[in-house]
Copies of this chain bind each other. A is one copy, B any other.
Amino acid sequence: MPYTKEITLPEGYTFRRLEKSDYNNNYRETLQVLTTVGEISESKFNDLFENWNALPNIFHPHVITNEQGKVVATGMLFVEKKLIHECASLGHIEDISVAKSEQGKKLGYSMIVGLTKVAQQQECYKVVLDCSPHNVGFYEKCGYGNGGNNMYIKF
């Protein structure tokens, strides 16, 4: 089934891959809207960034920037190589966050659509993500269906 949704960003906004210089460009602050980020030194960020970048077929961290080039939304796609379905790849979307001052501009929608298109380019047969029950309607608008339950354990 072709994926026909389109990114709809305000003028001057860009959907792009995370860059190293985003350490000082509101990336951590934007993620903080989603959950605790904690103290991340620049060298710790660089290590993680290099880790992701060394595996470009697996990790696809993305951002949306505003007219000033500042990060205002985050999202990660990572691609899991499986044996099933003749060694198919499954995309996982994680860590979607939008800066509070930028909400109402459909940036979350554009992030999901953008990452879904990246997954399709990466030849994923399917993409999955977990959400709260109150976000099901939003993901349905992005073209996603309800696949069941997400279970978790925290240590």
Contacts and interface: CB of A to CB of B under 8 A. Distances in A.
B144 A151 contact: yes
A139 to B, nearest CB: 4
A86 interface: yes
Interface residues of A, number: 64
A71 B105 CA distance: 51
Interface string A18-62: 000000000110010011111110001100100110010010000
Interface string A71-94: 000001010111111110010101
B153 A150 contact: no
A116 interface: yes
Contacts of A150: 128-130, 146-150
B83 A45 contact: yes
A110 B155 CA distance: 18
A154 interface: yes
Contacts of A143: 153
A143 B152 CA distance: 9
A9 interface: no
B129 A85 contact: no
Interface of A: 1-3, 27-28, 31, 34-40, 44-45, 48, 51-52, 55, 58, 76, 78, 80-87, 90, 92, 94-95, 116, 120, 124-133, 135-136, 139-140, 142-155
